[in-house]
Amino acid sequence: MTGFDDFVDIIKAAGEATRLRLLALLSQGELSVKDLTDILGQSQPRVSRHLKLLARAGLVVRVAEGSWAYFRIAETGGRADFVRRLVGEIDPEDPRMTHDRLALERVRKRHREQAEAYFSRIAASWDTIRSLHVPESALEAAIVQAVGANDMEHMIDLGTGTGRMLELLCGVYRRGTGIDSSREMMAIARAKLAAASIFHAHVQLGDISRLEPDIGPADLITLHQVLHYFDDPGTIIEQAAPLLRKRGRMLIVDFAPHELEFLRKEHAHRRLGLSQGQMEGWAGAAGLEISGFEAFPKKGAGKDLTACLWVLSST
């Protein structure tokens, strides 16, 4: 419940034309201040002032990324419900809504083009690695099966990269959070999530080796092809474990031990695969237990990689 005076402040914050347009835009996914100034055709100080009022009323959330800031609708609670109901009352064919929708499409098209340009520069190295292990379709089918059709409140994808796990599992969570330290990868993830109309997930800049406790709790944490970039994967698992709710799960996809030294030299891999014994030790130290495991060896000639899927459960 919201007190009378607080509710008056909320109504005042939302009850202005530009701020209502901002709420309608942010209900379609998170956007930067620059995106919003481009869409509305207003100055950065003016738009920032409106956003500050909305944030003060608890209607939007500000996420800082260096000198940039992204905004999104409050994700849970009465204020989130209020914004959804309020925006739902606006005629989508109103001229201002039509203008903003078309401008938003242009901004997202620009994002996709920028992301695709970056991805094309690194695609060759990605393709080299992917050609060495089992096709993604088989692995992703196993991931979906392992997660099941449970209706989860919150999923956290650590080292989200292009946001593929948030996209793949979008039907099983009500709120998704992706964390990555690469701005370029997050640009790709944002573009992909927007293109797929996945508005209940967002990505944010962060160091997964120094997790903030307020990003949890989560019903599911995923680490997809992430741990081999760290000297001590166990510390990542141990830091992430407290973010899980009781009976929550951590899903890890990574390579089995291998001898492909070029992955260390050319692709920044710190660990040449993870063994079952190592995973058991790391899980135990984090207060988790391995409740599922599946290996996906590639059948073929040459030095191929085996992808592994572990499910760790909290007790």
Model pLDDT, residue 115:
59
The reported pTM is: 0.75
Beta bridge partner(s), residue 2: none
User: Which parts of the chain have pLDDT scores under 50?
Assistant: none
* Residues 299, 218 within the same domain: yes
* Residues 149, 100 within the same domain: no
Q: Which structural domain range is residue 86 located in?
A: 4-104
Model pLDDT, residue 120:
63
Domain total of the chain: 2
Closest to 206 in 3D by CA, of 224, 181, 229: 181
Strands (E), 172-305: 173-180, 201-205, 218-224, 244-255, 288-297
* Residues 175, 257 within the same domain: yes
**What digits encode the pLDDT tens for the residues 2-54?**
778 777 878 888 889 999 999 999 988 778 888 899 999 999 999 999 999 99
Tell me if 160 is assigned to some domain. Answer: yes
* Residues 85, 194 within the same domain: no
Tell me if 159 is assigned to some domain. Answer: yes
Model pLDDT, residue 308:
94
- Cα–Cα distance between 72 and 28 in angstroms, integer? 9
* Residues 286, 172 within the same domain: yes
Tell me if 114 is assigned to some domain. Answer: no
Q: Is 311 helix (H, G, I), strand (E, B) or coil?
A: strand
* Residues 158, 303 within the same domain: yes
Tell me if 55 is assigned to some domain. Answer: yes
- Cα–Cα distance between 303 and 190 in angstroms, integer? 35
> What is the total residue count of the chain?
315
* Residues 51, 183 within the same domain: no
Tell me if 265 is assigned to some domain. Answer: yes
